[in-house]
Every structure is written in C-alpha cells, then in structure tokens.
Structure 1
C-alpha cells in the first residue's frame, strides 16, 4: 500500500518551493520507509532549488533528518520497524574497491532506494541527496538509516545527516586535528562552526574563526573558537600568523569553497600543516598556486567528502557525546519551523540570519 503525505517540492530552477502531495511506495527489497520527525534546512537544498546540483526537477527537498522506521522491505536486517534513525546520504556498498581496501568512508558506489517517490499524477521526484526528507514519510535504502540513541531529540540528531557531520569530520577525520594543535576555520556557517566544534572536541588549543560577518564570528565563539578574525577588516593570513607566533596553524579548513578563501587557508598553515577543503566550489572555479609553494610547505592538501565519515561509526558516537553534554548540537538550531516555512528559511539563510532552521514534522 502506497502512502500519500505532504512534502516540499522544487518544481523549477529558482522558483519558490511548494507543498505537494507525495506518493511514497511500500519499501521494496533493501528499502525502508521512515516517518520523518525533524529535518534541517541545509544550503545544499537551496543549491538544488537554484539548479546548482543538476536539473533533474522536480526535487523533493530535505536531507538532514531523523525519524522512526515504519516499514522495511524484503531482506532488510540492519534496521527494523520502530528503530530511531538518522538518515545519511552515503550508504556504503561493501563491495567497491574503496570498501574492499577497508576504506568504506570513501565508498564509490553508495546505495539509494531503487523505487521512485512521485507526485499524485505519477511525475517522478528526485530526492535531495537520495533522501527527500522535507516530507512526513520518505523512502530510502536501509543502509541510509543509522540507528542512534533515541534519547537525543530529532531536532538535534538529524543535523548529523549532513552539515554538522561534514564540519566535524573535516576537523577530526580529514584534518586529523590532534591535542594541542592550532586550527583556523574559514567560513562560519553551519559547516564551519561544526568544524570549530570538532576541533574543540579533538583538543585543539588555539581555534581561529575567519569570516566577514561579525554575527557569524559570535556564533563561532559560542562553538569554541578562541580567536576571531573579520577578513573584511584585516588580512586573515597575517592575523593568523600573529596569533601563532608567526608560524601559521597546523590545520587550516576552508568551509567556503572559494578559490580566494582556499588560497588564504593554504598560506595560513604552518610548514608541514594540513589544508582541508570542505566547502563546495562551483564547477567553473579554478585554483592556481606556485608549485614551489606546494612542494616547499610540505604537509597535505585534502578535500573532505561528507567529513570522510562512516555513519555507522560516527553518528552514534556524536549522539553519545551530545547526551554526555560534551557536544552541543542544540546550539546549531536557530529556530524550529513547519514545512510551509521552508521558503522563508531559505531567505533567512541567504541573509545570514540563521545557523540552522529545523523543520519539525511530529
């Protein structure tokens, strides 16, 4: 029996989103239906609406979600009806060359549901990041469901599904921040602030936040930044060197994804330091650096895919840290809203007024 539920759909490039009736099929082999309880409004959803990902309209938006498994298909053994889960968009296959090398966080053949959700007229929907969670129910591959402690409220737990995990993982997994190291984070939106929180969790002693917005720099301090730099008012590279004895930081994280910002991160690191790009550039962007500088500085330049996370390992760990009071997921939630408020949430995001708006469904 298919389900008919309300969901947020982007029908065309740049057009305002609309509330539509979504048809969610019964789960097939390897699939699960999840009753969505909360879903964060991520900048990636706005990218979909603006046609910045692809043009496979209409999109069923939403992907930073937590909820309860309400049905499973044939052969599903990893989750069961009633499980409390956070949804992820990189369900590992276990068979590709990355998985077989013991590096499933780099899986090259991740799973999504085989069936399509549709509008009532049969029009197939493209779910954002294979999830589509601005809806009362959604259909996913069972591997996209990660069980976590149900004591964590869905408004907090769901944020691990994308932006928070990307930022924390950029610091802990990709950047491998160690106790006593120095870190600079460029861009203090949701991902950048999560990188700051991750650096704090890892034991960094100096965490420098860089942004052009004083409001965002204040958010960064609340997440654990020890110093802030407004790059409209001063050269961030020189400011970072001044705060680190003239050397630069051990780890510089670009959470913006712009060539100029990446260049600043590159020059703000110490010799043998690490540069991490977790911000998403557009396809037309290029970076040009002197080869001798790349060689002469040593260290590493890395990109971070989803914080190089393994959801089955990292989501439960971060939820446990949250429940212990050591990782404040609630601090990322600027407001809770309904499905009908998503369009306005995009506008608030664009104006830099919120860290995260979170849609509450149940």
Structure 2
C-alpha cells in the first residue's frame, strides 16, 4: 500500500489528525495495534479546552459534544473545610467543556467510513523503517499476513508505550522526566456529582478530586502511595474515604453506587523533546505526559495535531515546509507551559511523603494567597482554559 501520511495510533490524536488531513484532501492511513472495542474501552479524562472543541467543530463532528457536553464556567480548589472558586468565565471570558475522551474517540471513529478515513485495526508487530530517507515505510501483520505501507511521512500518535518514539535512535533523544511518589485511585460510577463544579481538594488525608462526566455520572480520585494496588481497595473503603473528604465541602455530599471502573494511575511529568526525526513526527502522549491534575493530556495532543495538520496540509497543497520545520519548537513551547501548570497544581494540592510541617504551611499560604488575589486566580484560570495556540 502507498499513501502520503501513515498515522500510528487510533486514539483521539491520531483520529483527529487523520480527519483533518482527509478533510483537506491529503491521503492518509491510520494503523492501530488494538481492536476498536479496546480503544473505546480506555477510560480517560474529559475536560476539553477550546483547542479541542474547535477542532471537532472545524470537522463538523461536534453535534453530540454540543448536545451532551457540560459547559464548566469555574472550578474549585479546596482545603479540608474551605472552597476557593476559580471563576474561569468571569476571569477569562472562556469556559471548558466536560465531555469524555472516550466519547470524542467514538465520534471520530463513527465518522471515519463516511469521511473516507481508512483505519486498520488489530495491526500486530508495527515497525517503522527508513525514517531518515524520503521514503519511510511501516510494516505490520494483519490477520496473520505481512503488510507494508509506503508513505512520505510517518506520524506517531501511539502513546507512551507505542513503537514510534522507540524508533528514534538514542543519539538523537532529548527527554525529561519526573515521577511522583503517588498515584490516583479512581472510581467511575453512575451517580450524580457531589458538587456542580470540579473540586481539587488538599486535605490532611491527601489529595482528592471530585469531577463528573454528566449530570448522572461521576468520576472521583484520591491520592494513594505508588505501592498501592487496586486489590488493596474495596469499593466501600473508597466511598468512605471520598465521603470523609467531600461531604464537608460539597453541595450535595457523595452519592454511592456500583463502580463502572476502578483503577490506579501513576503520576508522571514527561517530555520527549525530539518530536521530529527525519520523516517521523510525534504528537500526543508519544511525546509528552502530564499529571492529570491540570486536565491537559488530551488538550495538549489536540494542540500538537492543530500545528501538525496545518503544517502537513501546507506542505502537500503548496509545497511549503516551513510549518514542518517549525513544528517541534512551536509544539514544545506550549507543552512546557502546560507541564509547568500541571506540575504547579500537583505540588500545591498533594501531600508529598518527604514534606514536613514547613511544606504544608507553604501550601496553606499559597492557597490563602490564591483565595485573596484576583490576579493569581486569573493566572490559574488562563492556564486552566488553555493558553493560546
């Protein structure tokens, strides 16, 4: 097979890029190592910045997002007994939209057949070749048969564990990483939210987050040591912990229900600065991971795709390679700002095991300052709704 662009990974970043290229008449094929059901089974965050909703609108695939997404005009930082509301609409004139990443992926997948976007699922042993040449290609096995796709460019949208980043030689790698000494234990349940807006809570028992996917579906997290396993927690124990942290500060208190999903996610800050190597470009989680504290993961992937799609379209339509040459620097400038904000909120709202009384007092002083300073609240709101592209 031959195409102009082969995209590795059919998550939201790969599908967004594929749809944007096809909408502009650029040939592309998406290769995904998992099945469609597996892709849709991955539970991820659901706070969308304008960069993400604007891309869906640009594609004309935002009907369900607009109908079902929840517009959020603010969110809350909290201590054990006090809420600090960040009025993002009043401070920035913008809002975010709560709409699950799974639903974004579903909308993009469902539209692929009518938009002439080819997606090859269940592709095994994906490997990238000749990335330093003008004729890179990708090999894999499909239904037991060897396959090859020749292309002009290969785009790695295959996440942190995919083959794209690993195809870059060690001599070209620039990467930065911080692993945090805790994870987030999460539960998803069909119960009404405890509060109309998200709450990020810093309590004596550790960090907790109360969020929602809809008016009837809630997502909660609590901070746990990295050594914890999901087997260490029963649903009852987790609901008890959530009630301890949110009943005193939320409007409605925690409503309990059967878990649709429980998992523990480690927290990591990671940037792989080599986002281009020859004819390979990286986008999304293949190049960067942010702690979920700032709700930046999917939105950073969307900004990568916005830059990269425009650059590829300019190349194929006008022979202009300036966007491709400038992609890495442009993307990294926004990535590092998002990493800074996610790191800041993580440091502010979590209890680190190495911290003592002094560090706790610093967190308290910072939260007191945020509560009293409109300027500080504006800075937080600007970062939360997303910095300009």
Q: TM-score scaled by structure 1?
A: 0.24
Which has the greater radius of gyration? 2
Higher RCO (CA < 8 A, seq sep 6+): 2
If each structure's helix is expressed as a fraction of its own residues, which one has the higher value? 2
